[in-house]
């Protein structure tokens, strides 16, 4: 689901929420908002730049793995693995 940005159509009588702009997570099939959910002032959808990640290398970085609560290991020998990130045991052997 994309995140859409909205902003007040005019500055007059707009609340701080819609004057500075706000984001809303919506389905593609959902209609665009016509009014601010807090004050009812008319709003418009603002076109914004997408956030694009190329490739999957960023997903496997140890810092990324550890921040999400996982443990990452690398193979160091036949049936032996060493921890590279996370809170799990230091070594695993099979």
**Is 23 among the domain residues?**
yes
**Is 82 among the domain residues?**
yes
Three-state DSSP string of 26-56: CCCCCCCCCECCCCCCEEEEECCCCCCCCCC
- The pair of structure tokens assigned to 21 is 């702009």
**Is 92 among the domain residues?**
no
Total domains in the fold of the chain: 2
Residue 90 is classified by DSSP as: S
Same-domain pairing of 42 and 76: no
**Is 67 among the domain residues?**
yes
Averaged over successive runs of 10 residues, the pLDDT of the chain (94 residues) comes to: 88 88 91 92 88 74 86 89 89 81
Can you give the pTM of this predicted structure? Answer: 0.52
Range of the domain at 81: 58-87
**Is 7 among the domain residues?**
yes
**Is 71 among the domain residues?**
yes
Q: What gap in Å lies between CA 77 and CA 60, rounded to an integer?
A: 21
**Is 22 among the domain residues?**
yes
């Amino acid at each position: 689901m994309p995140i859409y940005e909205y902003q007040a159509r005019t500055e007059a009588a707009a609340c701080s929420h819609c004057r500075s702009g706000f984001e809303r997570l919506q389905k593609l099939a959902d209609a665009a908002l016509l009014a601010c959910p807090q004050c009812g002032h008319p709003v418009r959808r603002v076109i914004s730049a997408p956030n694009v990640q190329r490739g999957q290398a960023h997903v496997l970085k140890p810092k990324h793995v550890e921040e999400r609560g996982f443990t990452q290991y690398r193979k160091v020998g036949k049936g032996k693995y060493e921890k590279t990130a996370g809170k799990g045991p230091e070594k695993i052997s099979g």
